[in-house]
Structure 1
Amino acid sequence: MTEESAGDVIRRDRFSGGPARDFLSSLAADERIFEADLAVDRAHVVMLTEQGIIDDCNAADILSALDSVEKDGHAELPGGEDVHEAIEAAVIQRVGEDGGKMHTARSRNDEVATCIRYRLREDILDAIEGTLALREALTETAAEHTETVMPGYTHLQPAQPITVAHYLLSYEAAVARDTARLLDAYGRINQSPLGAAAFAGTTFDVDRERTADLLGFDSVLGNSMDASSARDFLAETLGALATHATTISGLAEDLVIFANKGYVDLSDDYSSTSSIMPQKKNPDTLELVRGTAGDAVGGLSGLLTNLKGLPRAYNRDLQLAHPHAFRAVDAVVNATDVAAGAVATATWNADELAADAGDGFSTATGVADALATTGMPFRTAHEIVAAAAEGIDDADDAATIAAKLDAAAEGVLGEPLWTRVNRETVEAALDPAESVSSRDSLGGPAASAVETQLDDARARFGDDADSVAARRDALAQANEKLRAEVDSYV
Structure 2
Amino acid sequence: MTSEEPGDSSVVRRDRFSGGPARGFLSSLAADERIFEADLAVDRAHVVMLAERGIVDGETAGAILAALDDVEAAGHGALPDGEDVHEAVESAVIARVGPDGGRMHTARSRNDEVAACIRYRLREDALSVVEATLALREALAETAAAHVETTMPGYTHLQPAQPTTVAHHLLSYEAAVARDTARLLDAYGRINRSPLGAAAFAGTPFDVDRERTAELLGFEGVLGNSMDASSARDFLAETLSALATHAVTLSGLAEDLVVFSNRGYVDLSDDYSSTSSIMPQKKNPDTLELVRACAGDAVGDLAALLTTLKGLPRAYNRDLQRAHRHAFDAADVVGEATAVAAGAVRTATWNEGALAAAAGEGFSTATGVADLLAMAGVPFRTAHEIVAAAAPDVEDGDDPATVAAKLDAAAEGVLGENLRTHVNRDDLEAALDPARSAESRDSAGGPASPAVAAQLDAAADRIDADAEALTAGRDALAAAADRLETEVDRRV
Q: Does the pair score TM above 0.5?
A: yes
Tell me the CA shift for residue 437 of structure 1.
1.0
For 1:139, the equivalent position in structure 2 comes to 141
The answer as to 2:293 corresponding to 1:291 is yes
| 1:406 match | 408
The answer as to 2:401 corresponding to 1:383 is no
The count of corresponding residues between Structure 1 and Structure 2 is 490
What residue in structure 2 maps to residue 424 of structure 1?
426
Deviation by residue 1:274-329 (Cα, 9 ceiling, x = unmatched)? 00000000000000000000010000000000000011100000001000100111
Counterpart contact for 1:303–1:324, Cα < 8 Å: yes
**2 CA distance for matches of 1:188 and 1:281?**
44
- The ranges of structure 1 where at least 4 consecutive aligned residues each deviate by more than 4 angstroms after the TM superposition are none
What TM-score results when the alignment is normalised by the length of structure 1?
0.99
Q: Give per-residue Cα distances to partners, 1:106-162, cap 9 Å, x unaligned.
A: 000000000000000000000100100000000000000000000000000000000
Correspondent of 1:100 among 99, 102, 106:
102
Deviates more, 1:206-215 or 1:369-378: 369-378
Q: Does 1:241 align with 2:248?
A: no
Q: 2:165 aligns with which of 152, 163, 166?
A: 163
* Cα displacement string for residues 37-90 of structure 1 (whole angstroms, at most 9, x for unaligned residues): 000000000000000001010011000000000000000000000000000000
Q: For 2:378 and 2:57, locate their aligned partners in 1 and report how far apart those are by CA, in whole Å.
A: 89
When residues 422 and 7 of structure 1 are mapped into structure 2, their CA distance, relative to the original with a 3 A threshold, is: farther
Alpha carbons 2:28, 2:83 under 8 Å: kept? yes
Match of 2:396 in 1: 394
Distance 1:400 1:77, change over 3 A: same
Asked if the contact 1:6–1:90 (Cα under 8 Å) also holds between the matched residues in 2, the reply is: no
Q: Measure, in 2, the Cα distance between the counterparts of 1:173 and 1:415.
A: 45
Q: Is the 8 A contact 2:230 2:316 kept in 1?
A: yes
CA contact (8 A) 1:7 1:78 kept: no
Partner of residue 355, structure 1: 357
CA apart distance, 1:418: 1.0
Q: Please show how residues 43-442 of structure 1 align to structure 2 within 5 Å.
A: 43-442=45-444
Give the conservation status (yes or no) of the 8 Å contact 2:193–2:221.
yes
Identity of aligned residues (%): 76
Q: Distance in 2 between matches of 1:79 and 1:356?
A: 64
Residues in 2 aligned to 1:309 and 1:380: alpha-carbon distance in whole angstroms = 57
Unaligned segments of structure 2, at least 5 residues? none
1:483 to partner: Cα distance: 0.1
What's the secondary structure of 1:150's corresponding residue? Answer: strand
Rate the CA distance shift 1:111–1:291 in 2: closer, same or farther, 3 A. Answer: same
Structure 1 CA distance for aligned equivalents of residues 58 and 249 of structure 2: 53
Q: Mind listing any 5+ residue stretches in structure 1 that lack a counterpart?
A: none
Which AA in structure 2 matches 1:228? Answer: S
The answer on 1:486 being equivalent to 2:466 is: no
Match of 1:18 in 2: 20
Deviation, structure 1 residue 4 = 5.6
TM superposition score normalised by structure 2: 0.99
Q: CA deviation at 1:5?
A: 3.6
User: Whole-Å Cα distance in 2 between the matches of residues 441 and 233 of structure 1?
Assistant: 39
Structure 2 residue identity aligned to 1:59: A
Change in Cα spacing, 1:7 to 1:79, as seen in structure 2 (3 Å) is farther
**How far apart in 2 are the matches of 1:292 and 1:79?**
34
Query: In the TM superposition, what is the alpha-carbon distance from 1:373 to its structure 2 partner?
Result: 1.3
The whole-number CA distance in structure 2 between the counterparts of 1:435 and 1:264 is 22
**Partner of 1:147: helix, strand, or coil?**
coil
Distance (whole Å) between structure 1 residues aligned to residue 414 and residue 254 of structure 2: 44
CA RMSD of aligned residues (A): 0.7
Note the C-alpha offset of 1:416: 1.2
Q: Is the 8 A contact 1:105 1:204 kept in 2?
A: yes
